[in-house]
Structure 1
Amino acid sequence: MDKPDALIPPAPQAPKRRAPEGACDAHVHLVGGRGEFPLWDGRVENPAPGPDLDGWLHMFRTQCDTLGISRGVIVHSILYGTDNSVTVEAVRRMGAGFRGVGLLPDGAPEAEMDRFVDWNMVAVRLNYVHGGVLSWEGAKAMSPALAERGLHIQMLCHADQHMGELAEDVRKLPVDVVFDHIGWPKDALTPDSAGFRTLCALLSEGKVWVKLSALYRMCAAPYTDADPLVAALIAANPERCLWGSDWPHLMLADATMPQAADLLNAFDRVVPDAQTRDRILVDNPAELFGFGPSGEA
């Protein structure tokens, strides 16, 4: 069966306030042109037709320049399955100040984790919502080997549905766990659900990190409906929050294609002060992803 095509994101607009020097977009994806990198048979869509990887990198660099971003984390897309080559190549071409998050299946040998380190990868990704190549049991089993290599687990879940069954395991893991997309609450955009409160507790304990990303998947622009959740996460522990654009917004489903500047503006609307803003955009990603001082890789 033919797959639908993803959309080309809009040309970037300037945010109300540029990001500070050394700011990091902690969640983006990069894709290639048709036939440039092998696609996974189980994917639900194709990359947007037209640009090759160089073209996508040009668009991404333009967005970074427009927003004031100089560092980033490129998260491998399930469109390519466990063939991480497009992400590895994107990280290589972006150069200093960029890291990757890749996919490994259950039971992956430690030699594959060694390759992740060589490739400038910082984490493996687990999709607890839709399933995929790595299960929660598999991630827990490989966590000691990840810890030995300074790698962590990045995880997509519905906090309001799943956090109760995950929390105690998370507390016992020897590695950091980073939750995508403000914990992606599914049933209601409220910080009052038991699962979201558990996520805030884990954050306050310093056991997890959370990406303040993908608000457009949960509500419409200007994303004010998500303000209470973002504010609750920042209040729980601003030293464990990260910001990401989720560009180029793959697998939109019923969401509306966002403008990245609006997503940065939404973050700025909620962040309480300039020091906290710099902490989330610059210092936290530098600590987690191993960047040097501002202005260095």
Structure 2
Amino acid sequence: MDKPDAQMPPRPTAPKIQLPKGACDAHVHLVAGRDDFPLWEGRVENPAPGPNFNQWLSLYQQHLDIMGFERGVIVHSILYGTDNSVTVAAVRRMGRNFKGVGLLPDGATETQIDQFAEWNMCAVRLNYVHGGVLTWDGAKAMAPALADRGLHIQMLCHADQHMDALAADIKSLPVPVVFDHITWPTQGLAADGRGIDTLCALLDSGKIWIKLSALYRMCDAPFDAAAKLVERLIRTNPDRCLWGSDWPHLMLNGADMPNGADLLDALDNVASTQDRQKIFVDNPKALFKFAD
């Protein structure tokens, strides 16, 4: 059966917020032309038709330049399954200020994890929402090997469905866990919703990090519905918050295609200048080990 095509992201516009020097967009995906890298048979959509890999890299650089970013983290897309090659190539081409987050399956060998680290990957991603090749048990078993190589676990989950059950395991892991997309609550974006107290306790402890990303998947622009939750996360521990655009906004599943500047400007009333320095510069530098 034919797969639907993803949409092209809009041309970036400059945000109202002026980012500090060295700012990092900590969550994007890189795709390519249909024939540039092998697509996974189980994908739910194709990359947007038209650009080849080099052109997608140019579009990504344009996004970074107009928004004001100098560093980035490229998260491997499930459109390519466990073949990390498109992400590895993108990280290599973008250079020293860029890191990758990739996929490894349950039972990955020490040799596979060594290769993963050599590719300039900083984390392995676990999708607790849609499933995939890595389970929570597999991630826990892999954690000591990740710790030995300075890697961490990045996880997509639903706070209201998963956080309370995950907390004890997270506390005992030898690596930090980075949660995507403000933990994507499915029962509303209340700052005191189910699982949020547990999330904030973990955040306050410094055991986890959280990406203030993909608000467009949970509410419409100007994203006011998420403001109180985002503000609570920042107030709980601004030293463990990151920001990501989720560009080029794959697998929208009915959400409106966002403008990256609007996503960035959603922080305008909830993050101080000091907070922004931490969220965009200091925190990513510490977690992803960017060089000066």
The bucket for the TM-score relative to the shorter chain is over 0.9
Q: CA deviation at 1:147?
A: 0.3
Map 1:134-145 onto structure 2 (within 5 A): 134-145=134-145
Give, in whole Å, the separation in 2 of the partners of 1:108 and 1:199.
29
Aligned residues: 292
Q: CA deviation at 1:196?
A: 1.2
Q: CA deviation at 1:134?
A: 0.3
Q: CA deviation at 1:19?
A: 1.3
- The residue number in structure 2 matching 1:63 is 63
* Residue 235 of structure 2 is aligned to residue 235 of structure 1: yes
Give, in whole Å, the separation in 2 of the partners of 1:61 and 1:197.
38
* Residue 276 of structure 2 is aligned to residue 277 of structure 1: yes
Uncovered stretches (5+) of structure 2, i.e. residues with no partner: none
Map 1:24-35 onto structure 2 (within 5 A): 24-35=24-35
Q: CA deviation at 1:269?
A: 2.6
Where in structure 1 do 4 or more consecutive aligned residues deviate above 6 Å?
none
TM-score, normalised by the number of residues in structure 2:
0.99
Q: CA deviation at 1:17?
A: 2.1
Q: CA deviation at 1:194?
A: 3.2
Aligned residue identity for 1:205: S
SS of the aligned residue for 1:167 comes to helix
Aligned residue identity for 1:86: V
- The residue number in structure 2 matching 1:149 is 149
SS of the aligned residue for 1:93 comes to helix
Alpha-carbon displacement from aligned partner over 1:155-206 (angstroms, at most 9, x marks no partner): 0000111101101000000001000000111111112123011111100011
**RMSD over equivalenced CA pairs, Å:** 0.7
Alpha-carbon displacement from aligned partner over 1:223-243 (angstroms, at most 9, x marks no partner): 010001100100110000000
- The residue number in structure 1 matching 2:288 is 289
- The residue number in structure 2 matching 1:43 is 43
Identity of aligned residues (%): 67
Give, in whole Å, the separation in 2 of the partners of 1:41 and 1:63.
29
- The residue number in structure 1 matching 2:133 is 133
TM-score, normalised by the number of residues in structure 1:
0.97
CA contact (8 A) 2:22 2:71 kept: yes
Q: CA deviation at 1:268?
A: 2.5
Aligned residue identity for 2:39: L
SS of the aligned residue for 1:79 comes to helix
CA contact (8 A) 2:203 2:209 kept: yes
Alpha-carbon displacement from aligned partner over 1:90-133 (angstroms, at most 9, x marks no partner): 00011110000000000011111111111110000000011100
SS of the aligned residue for 2:266 comes to helix
Give, in whole Å, the separation in 1 of the partners of 2:123 and 2:225.
30
* Residue 269 of structure 2 is aligned to residue 244 of structure 1: no
Alpha-carbon displacement from aligned partner over 1:8-65 (angstroms, at most 9, x marks no partner): 0000011012211100000000001011101111110000111011111111111111
Give, in whole Å, the separation in 1 of the partners of 2:88 and 2:197.
36
- The residue number in structure 1 matching 2:169 is 169
Map 1:188-267 onto structure 2 (within 5 A): 188-267=188-267
* Residue 73 of structure 2 is aligned to residue 73 of structure 1: yes
Aligned residue identity for 2:230: V
CA contact (8 A) 2:187 2:193 kept: no
Give, in whole Å, the separation in 2 of the partners of 1:239 and 1:254.
33
CA contact (8 A) 1:268 1:277 kept: no
* Residue 191 of structure 2 is aligned to residue 186 of structure 1: no
- The residue number in structure 2 matching 1:89 is 89
SS of the aligned residue for 1:194 comes to coil
Aligned residue identity for 1:256: D
SS of the aligned residue for 1:27 comes to strand
Aligned residue identity for 1:30: L
